[in-house]
Every structure is written in structure tokens, then in C-alpha cells.
Amino acid sequence: MQPGEEREDIQEMAAACEALLFVSAEPVPLGDLRRVLAIRQPTLERVLDYLGKTLAEGQRCVRLQRHNDIVRLVTTPEAAHYIDKLKRQQATHPTP
């Protein structure tokens, strides 16, 4: 990539964005995503729109949640049963 050039592969950037949001324990500011992905705000908007649409349309239990200038991945209500079950399992059988 040349200096000043911007990546335009929305699918690739959406996958990278998903990975960044997945590993982050906290919601991620949009500015941080822009800097790490080396993209401008309009491109980030397209990336987030694509990622949000992809997650919502698939048979996934994860969604993109955006509030003001932060974004994060959240689980869907449909996943609540499984999440509760895992938490109960971990509480009764903690790992050493």
C-alpha cells in the first residue's frame, strides 16, 4: 500500500474489524478502528455497515452494537439460554 493510499476491500476490512472487536474486552472507539485499519471515516462506515448486515443476515448469535463513537460485538437474545448454561457449568466445575 502506497503512502496516502487507502484500502478499499470492504470484506477484508470487515473481517479484520470483527477480529479486533472480538478480542477487545471493551467497546472500541471508531477512531481506534480507523487508525488500526488505516482507513478513512467514510470507508469505516461502509465496513461497519457491511459487517453489521453480514452478522444480522447470517445464522449467527453475535451482532454489531454501535453507540455514538464506540462499537462492540454483543450476543443476541437467542443465545441467552446457551450462555446461561455455560455460566452455570463453569460455576459448578471451575477450571483449575
Residues in the chain: 96
Q: In this structure, which amino acid lies at residue 79?
A: A
Distance CA 20, CA 3 (A): 23
Phi, psi of 45 (to 5 degrees): -60, -45
Cα 24 to chain centroid, rounded: 9
pTM of the model: 0.82
Helix extents (H) in 7-79: 10-23, 30-37, 41-57
Q: Encode the chain (96 residues) as per-residue pLDDT tens digits.
A: 444 444 569 999 999 999 999 999 999 999 999 999 999 999 999 999 999 999 999 888 999 999 999 999 999 999 999 999 999 999 998 877
